[in-house]
Amino acid sequence: MGGSSTAEPPVGIDEFLERVRAGYERIEPRDAYEAFQGGEALLVDIRYAALRERDGLIPGALVVERNELEWRLDPQGSHRAPEATSHDLRVVVICNEGYASSLAVETLRRLGLRRATDLVGGFQAWRAAGLPVTLEAGPPPAPRAVHAPDHRLSPKPEAR
């Protein structure tokens, strides 16, 4: 009584990662920095606390532990971060070296965050590119406002 299975055979993590990354365009550190500075992208640091303490923070990035990411960035979620304003939000997920962030992007895109991407090389590539990093202790700086295009909303008429 063998029966046939319609499930796909298991794949290794390397092949799975390759498949995930084929579904979107990743972003280089300098391009992510420019998009962030221009208010066009929200940087989201998912590294765990020990790495942030050891290597520092990206000033203005939203720090969200990986196990909370989907709940904090779902614009429809009851536990969303104030920055998670729209499914059109351009989110750049940053992990330490650019592997876990790719897997995180997969779930964010399944939640409808169609512009989610991750940083090629992660935080280590950001730092190697000479982009801003702070080693200051204490809470990270507040994230910058990001302007997500929302074509469904039209301006309200002025009150007279």
Q: Quick check: 83 and 36 in contact, CB under 8 A?
A: no
Q: Would the pLDDT of 149 be above 60?
A: no
Q: How confident is the model over 103-121, as pLDDT tens digits?
A: 999 999 999 999 999 999 9
pTM: 0.81
Q: How confident is the model over 133-148, as pLDDT tens digits?
A: 998 655 544 555 555 4
> What pLDDT is recorded for position 9?
87
Q: Give the pLDDT mean for 6-20.
A: 91
Rounded-to-10 torsion of CA 9, 14, 20, 22: -110
Bridge partners, residue 117, by sequence: 92
Q: How confident is the model over 52-61, as pLDDT tens digits?
A: 999 999 999 9
Task: Give dist(CA 21, CA 138) in Å, integer.
Answer: 34
> What pLDDT is recorded for position 158?
40
Q: Give the pLDDT mean for 89-97.
A: 97
Task: Give dist(CA 98, CA 128) in Å, integer.
Answer: 13
Amino acid at 142: A
